[in-house]
Structure 1
């Protein structure tokens, strides 16, 4: 997600403003008709926001399933049955030729005439070795039969077309290359039909030739394999085994391949070779010698149907069958390309994630060492009073605790509570406290930016602290926020927001996110001098810097990110005060969490777009555009958008393999995250016990954040508008105690170059 904390809504549900880019929503129509029109549009947009992520996820899973299917990772079975008895195999078959014809109830075999060789190649087409074998055959003017699998033909249709165009025959070798003696007749028919579908899409043909996987000679037929041949024959196919087996898959050497492939005494033969399944360099080399040597002995090379003087094995397909095949090949190609893109995206997100981890570890450590040095000072101690602005909308449950925590501050302050049209008596409660230096300003409901600007106009001091109406400060928080302004270059200070209600599982997950994802990020960005966000829950500003930037803007839903980026572009430094701790009430339900993070994500995108010109700005103010904005775009928008691929491939690997490597990789990533989280907790002096829920957070909570960000992208791309939403508060958050007042040498800080 992004480096934001605190919900702090001062404009409520009745706030009619809805932001998109730099504008506000205009009313369209009036009365009931206009309201009905707006309601219908909102419902349509809501449906689109939910429908598009579901469709994208469904399409992604479908493409991965299709990819796994054509790579023999799904429904594949590579078991090979041991030899069985031959009691029920006809003697004609056991002593016959390599072509078994069981069509129409026949049980006979066919042989290739003397001095005729039929070269056959199994398991292809392979993108590396099949073209080389085709080149050798073309160079020697020879034809052969390629028994292709459906998986390979679907992935490499161009090679199948080349086989047919160059006059070779193509036969079926099943779709997934299983031992059919294990399979039911329904599965056998399915393997054949899928194999034919791939051929139809690749070359527009059907074939009548078939070779069973793991077959050898006709005399090797047994009581398990022969029933398969009979079933295949009943479907109109010739079952082709072989006379000579080159055993090239063993890679025995070129001479041995040639020896094993050569028939005896000028006999004709069906020769078995392979054009896929591994390194076939010896096959290519052997074929280049075998062809001229055998031709010199008087042999000719042709297709099987030519050698048997039979009709062509190929039949053109048309109509629905052709279009089904083409659609299949198109979808397989799309799945291959999409998967390749996903793999590249996975590599990108892997680089981004580990780069971010590396930067956080290195730079946050440098930040901690720098600010904790005994000689580190921002400048002269800042003791002047500070104005604290508390925008509030319906914060009756929290406002008293918020104001009383400010009254305990060890730094002189004035408190301005800006009631933004509350309907629950928030203003009355604040006034009823009767506390000194507390003023309450009322305004009609206009939104948080307007409330902050109203408070800014009424503030009496040059340093302005902003907080949310549901947040509780420690007694030292305001003082810690004020000290960096001893450096005249500092325009704003980000505080350290903490989750106060961390006892629930959702609260614990957010606690980890705040400490690791937000505050560790802020340390990194502070060192790089490109802090992207002053959190709404705890932040301080130099009043002159705010006025130069035009105050708080309602152009985006992330007014805190917007103003922070504006200050960077105006040349101000924005720093992080780790000891300025504030305790905020995080959402306690999934729905509220969704609403909050949806607004944050969308608002961050709006702010990046609004300040996009910073990419090309020069001078000191251009540092944020050169460093900060690219990092924010990569780490807060692009990386979270692509990060779901880690979990998608995790799920894919768990189901389809390699399971052990997948689990090891995921545990490795989790270990790195755990190390970063533990380091962040150590820097923030937090108890490590909350990290027990980290693995579960990675499995559940992170997925929710993915969907939120995806919906934010869809809202932005579809031109949707998102409005503020008020979260329900319980008022249970209290400050657990403040840090002790530092010694004088810690308090009087000076800037560091």
Structure 2
């Protein structure tokens, strides 16, 4: 994974300009935009102010239109970044469906039919032996077991715990038996089926999902048998002609509902095997009682029914240890069914396509079982991470609130020196006036530098026409947000530098509160409290919850741990000295704010959180814009973690971030969100196939825990609780979008893909609480402007 470097350079930035090769690049900072084409532009080409893309002269416009049309057609193809998550999701769902199928959670029918009349069953069947041969066109026959022969049979297996113990006892006493296996269990434990065959036992079918066949159609019966045969082929390479119906008993219990099923199964080539003697071991009546019920009268031959699965079979295993040698002493031989009847073996070998289909089935089931095991392990991990994170956030946020709200708390001497506020702006026409005016209301001395990064919408002109004191505009060619900030740092007059976004507004006290921590000389940077201004829409309310709970509560936690991972681009402050020591803002990642914060930690500076330094930012108002923003954040965070990975092995005060902060950021911001979808996957799975009531209770428990954290976070930020009404819906819908975004970021990072960003559309609707409405200010500005 190498997400940093040139392969990750931006074409367009969600918050501002793009660091691409079409502009002045890293070295273009501070240069004014002129009408002269950029170096390297072919003759006859020009750069329109709107896009900066070379446009051919009129004679070549038709060709350009054809090329643009072809590009649009090409874009309609499903990008790999969407295709891969879709394929992963489909594969995951297929594996879970397969897992549910072989665990009898899908298509299982647990109905048991009550007894019916017997007038349609031939007398010879009702009074005959336990083996019914209805094959061929002749009359069905009921066969009995010869004297001194015992055919011991086991139903419902194989079981990973009890079947090996049963096999061990049979092997110990040189006895053979017949195992009637279900397809679900045999699919999951094929090695045990192979062992049965290898050790000379016979295997029979007990259907795939163990339904009462009297309730099933012929198509379902065919399917139950063919699926069971498929499993035997894959597990042991054999087919069998033996069959035992689920919930069957003696031949005398055959009735008008079960008899037609027996006839149909016989027409398919199967021998139906019932029993003479039922040990009723499934009731666990005790070892003595099991032996008594399994023992035939005198020297009569018999088919004995036992179970090697379906529950605790300890009594069955213990009973075998006495029953087998005792009956052998009485002259009984424990043989396979076909041996007892003097018939050919029930097994036939499978080869060719049928064999490979069976092996493919076993391989698919094995993969689904292993994958489910991994997912369950991942669910346990995410459960620990979620609970641990919630616990840490609540505890450390409480400690943080107690610390900073004490009357005697102080960062040191009050900071009153002037501050430079940098506002990088790219096509912020709708927002920039609000942003600059909010700064003019500041109760701390400031200068404002607006760095216009090649805007094509007149952003810089709007600022200049405001005629505001201590506000300067620096114009540069489109070079990217980091280059714009570095350019602003170069023009700054003061040693304390505040950075904000062009779509953000400050409260009058924001700058003052933001710089007070610099009273401590160890502090190199300060993170402010970014808040969503446009929270009236549903998607805005969801982001508001995320900002208050997920970001600001996190920052309180990281502040106590002294390993703040990110200074938000919307509101952050830096010492010039600290910026110079780390080389300024870097273009190496898409998350320059996270990158610079980690660099500050590694250089030995303290990074703290100022909760009262509130900034109101305009959050994305559409799913597409939100996707673009969070994609950049997720991918940029991965890049920053990778770039600063050596912090893990660094020592000294600067190594604290590597020992504590970087692992926590990796766990809580990268790994945990990647595994978090497992909660919802198993929720959906449990609702459809599992214990629905327990699943709902578990999910509501997690939601309640999140609600507690959210309410505490809202209380700390003095926010109204009404927005938390949408919290359940946020967990169902909004969170899923964030999962897919993170997965896409992972795929982009692992494949080394490029990331292209579109400028987010702004409305300029965000204003600081208590500020003058925008239209009234514009009218006042018009009145103040000179005439002529």
Partner SS for 1:239: strand
Aligned to 2:364: 331
Partner SS for 2:157: coil
Aligned to 2:780: none
User: Structure 1 461/42 Cα, relative in aligned 2: closer, same or farther at 3 Å?
Assistant: farther
Shift of 1:77: 1.0
Shift of 1:44: 10
Partner SS for 1:442: strand
Aligned-residue CA RMSD (Å): 2.2
Aligned to 2:444: 411
Aligned to 2:267: 234
Q: Contact between 2:158 and 2:192, CA under 8 Å: does it hold in 1?
A: yes
Partner SS for 1:722: coil
CA offsets 1:225-266 (integer angstroms, 9 cap, x no match)? 111111100000000000000000001111111110111121
| 2-structure distance, mates of 1:220, 1:372 | 81
User: Structure 1 581/332 Cα, relative in aligned 2: closer, same or farther at 3 Å?
Assistant: same
| 2-structure distance, mates of 1:16, 1:370 | 49
Aligned to 1:385: 418
| 1-structure distance, mates of 2:364, 2:560 | 49
Matched, 1:270 2:276: no
CA offsets 1:545-581 (integer angstroms, 9 cap, x no match)? 0011100000100000000000000000000000000
Q: Contact between 2:496 and 2:576, CA under 8 Å: does it hold in 1?
A: yes
Aligned to 1:9: 15
| 2-structure distance, mates of 1:500, 1:253 | 72
Q: Contact between 1:8 and 1:469, CA under 8 Å: does it hold in 2?
A: no
Partner SS for 1:103: coil
Matched, 1:64 2:96: yes
| 2-structure distance, mates of 1:216, 1:653 | 34
Q: Contact between 2:148 and 2:332, CA under 8 Å: does it hold in 1?
A: yes
Matched, 1:97 2:97: no
| 1-structure distance, mates of 2:329, 2:501 | 93
Aligned to 1:363: 396
After superposition, residues 682-721 of structure 1 pair within 5 angstroms as 682-721=715-754
| 2-structure distance, mates of 1:737, 1:154 | 68
Q: Contact between 1:418 and 1:452, CA under 8 Å: does it hold in 2?
A: yes
After superposition, residues 652-663 of structure 1 pair within 5 angstroms as 652-663=685-696
- The alignment's TM-score, normalised by the length of structure 1, stands at 0.94
- 1:295 aligned to 328, 333, 336, which one? 328
Partner SS for 1:293: helix
| 2-structure distance, mates of 1:435, 1:211 | 92
Aligned to 1:52: 84
| 2-structure distance, mates of 1:588, 1:507 | 7
| 2-structure distance, mates of 1:291, 1:493 | 80
Aligned to 1:744: none
Shift of 1:439: 0.2
User: Structure 1 557/13 Cα, relative in aligned 2: closer, same or farther at 3 Å?
Assistant: closer
| 2-structure distance, mates of 1:190, 1:573 | 68
Partner SS for 2:762: coil
Shift of 1:62: 0.6
Matched, 1:83 2:89: no
Matched, 1:542 2:575: yes
Shift of 1:723: 3.0
Shift of 1:124: 0.3
Partner SS for 2:304: strand
User: Structure 1 18/601 Cα, relative in aligned 2: closer, same or farther at 3 Å?
Assistant: farther
Q: Which runs of 5+ in 1 are unaligned?
A: 1-6, 20-26, 739-753
| 1-structure distance, mates of 2:160, 2:767 | 66
Aligned to 2:48: none
Shift of 1:660: 0.8
- 1:448 aligned to 463, 476, 481, which one? 481
- The alignment's TM-score, normalised by the length of structure 2, stands at 0.90
| 2-structure distance, mates of 1:332, 1:480 | 60
User: Structure 1 424/712 Cα, relative in aligned 2: closer, same or farther at 3 Å?
Assistant: same
User: Structure 1 301/709 Cα, relative in aligned 2: closer, same or farther at 3 Å?
Assistant: same
CA offsets 1:279-304 (integer angstroms, 9 cap, x no match)? 10111111111111111111111000
Aligned to 2:782: none
| 2-structure distance, mates of 1:135, 1:273 | 15
Q: Contact between 1:8 and 1:470, CA under 8 Å: does it hold in 2?
A: no
| 1-structure distance, mates of 2:373, 2:273 | 36
| 1-structure distance, mates of 2:19, 2:114 | 73
Partner SS for 1:579: strand
Q: Contact between 1:490 and 1:573, CA under 8 Å: does it hold in 2?
A: yes
Matched, 1:471 2:519: no
| 2-structure distance, mates of 1:170, 1:644 | 41
| 1-structure distance, mates of 2:742, 2:144 | 66
User: Structure 1 40/48 Cα, relative in aligned 2: closer, same or farther at 3 Å?
Assistant: farther
After superposition, residues 336-735 of structure 1 pair within 5 angstroms as 336-735=369-768
Q: Contact between 2:19 and 2:478, CA under 8 Å: does it hold in 1?
A: no
| 2-structure distance, mates of 1:138, 1:43 | 66
Aligned to 1:745: none
| 2-structure distance, mates of 1:382, 1:523 | 22
CA offsets 1:330-376 (integer angstroms, 9 cap, x no match)? 00001000000000011001111110000000001110110000000
| 1-structure distance, mates of 2:596, 2:328 | 83
| 2-structure distance, mates of 1:239, 1:45 | 56
Aligned to 1:749: none
| 1-structure distance, mates of 2:624, 2:91 | 26
Partner SS for 2:518: helix
| 2-structure distance, mates of 1:18, 1:656 | 58
Partner SS for 1:145: strand
User: Structure 1 178/91 Cα, relative in aligned 2: closer, same or farther at 3 Å?
Assistant: same
Q: Contact between 2:647 and 2:655, CA under 8 Å: does it hold in 1?
A: yes
Partner SS for 1:723: coil
Aligned to 2:203: 170
| 2-structure distance, mates of 1:569, 1:45 | 43
CA offsets 1:675-719 (integer angstroms, 9 cap, x no match)? 000000000000000000000000000000000000000000011
User: Structure 1 28/145 Cα, relative in aligned 2: closer, same or farther at 3 Å?
Assistant: farther
- 1:112 aligned to 145, 149, 163, which one? 145
| 2-structure distance, mates of 1:147, 1:18 | 77
Shift of 1:12: 4.8
After superposition, residues 147-158 of structure 1 pair within 5 angstroms as 147-158=180-191
Aligned to 1:305: 338
Q: Contact between 1:594 and 1:708, CA under 8 Å: does it hold in 2?
A: yes
Q: Contact between 2:14 and 2:629, CA under 8 Å: does it hold in 1?
A: no
User: Structure 1 206/11 Cα, relative in aligned 2: closer, same or farther at 3 Å?
Assistant: same
Partner SS for 1:318: coil
Q: Contact between 1:568 and 1:621, CA under 8 Å: does it hold in 2?
A: yes
User: Structure 1 311/653 Cα, relative in aligned 2: closer, same or farther at 3 Å?
Assistant: same
| 2-structure distance, mates of 1:328, 1:526 | 53
Q: Contact between 1:173 and 1:211, CA under 8 Å: does it hold in 2?
A: yes
Q: Contact between 1:536 and 1:560, CA under 8 Å: does it hold in 2?
A: yes
Aligned to 2:30: none
Aligned to 2:36: none
Q: Contact between 2:24 and 2:477, CA under 8 Å: does it hold in 1?
A: no
User: Structure 1 29/146 Cα, relative in aligned 2: closer, same or farther at 3 Å?
Assistant: farther
User: Structure 1 173/188 Cα, relative in aligned 2: closer, same or farther at 3 Å?
Assistant: same
| 2-structure distance, mates of 1:46, 1:541 | 43
- The number of equivalent residue pairs is 725
Partner SS for 1:123: strand
Shift of 1:724: 3.6
| 2-structure distance, mates of 1:206, 1:333 | 21
